[in-house]
Structure 1
Amino acid sequence: MLVLKCSACRRKLWKYYKIGNGEVHRCHKDRIKKIWNAEERDGKVYCPCGKAFGIDRNSYWTMDKKAFTYSGTKTNN
């Protein structure tokens, strides 16, 4: 499980089940386990501080890798 945080204000955004070793380029909506601070509007997802960190692509979010940080462990399958 990874915990994603806003790079601007350090608020927790959501808890995500990451499969594989690679970077977080996409967050599949069905793997998001808990949402703390995320607002969806106009096809994007925002932190309450106003920074956009993802774009809606139907079943997943395309993430802006400069807009968030993460910590935790990835599942290697």
Structure 2
Amino acid sequence: MLIIRCAACKRKLWRYDKIGPGEVLRCHKARIERTYAFVEKEGKLRCVCGKPIGIDKGSFYKMIAKAFTYSGTKRR
């Protein structure tokens, strides 16, 4: 499980089940285990502090690479 956080304010956004060793560039909505604090508005995903985090692409969120940080372990 990974904890995805905003890079600007360090607030938790969601807990995500990452499968595979690659980068976190897409977050599939079905793998989000728990949500904490984010706002989805006009197809864009923002932290409650106002910083853009990603773009809604239907079944997944396309993440902005420098807008978030994560901690935890990836599942192989």
Q: TM-score, normalised by structure 2?
A: 0.98
Helix, strand or coil for the counterpart of 2:30?
Answer: helix
2:43 partner letter: G
**Deviation (angstroms), 1:63:** 0.2
Answer yes or no: is 1:33 the counterpart of 2:45.
Answer: no
**Deviation (angstroms), 1:24:** 0.1
Aligned mates of 1:56, 1:36 — CA distance in 2:
17
Aligned mates of 1:5, 1:65 — CA distance in 2:
12
**Deviation (angstroms), 1:73:** 0.3
User: Matched residues, percent identical?
Assistant: 57
Helix, strand or coil for the counterpart of 1:30?
Answer: helix
2:48 partner letter: P
Provide structure 1 residue ranges, at least 5 long, that are not aligned to the other structure.
Answer: none
Q: TM-score, normalised by structure 1?
A: 0.97
Answer yes or no: is 1:8 the counterpart of 2:14.
Answer: no
> Deviation digits for residues 16-66 of structure 1, max 9, x if unmatched?
000000110000000000000111001011100000101010000000010
Provide structure 2 residue ranges, at least 5 long, that are not aligned to the other structure.
Answer: none
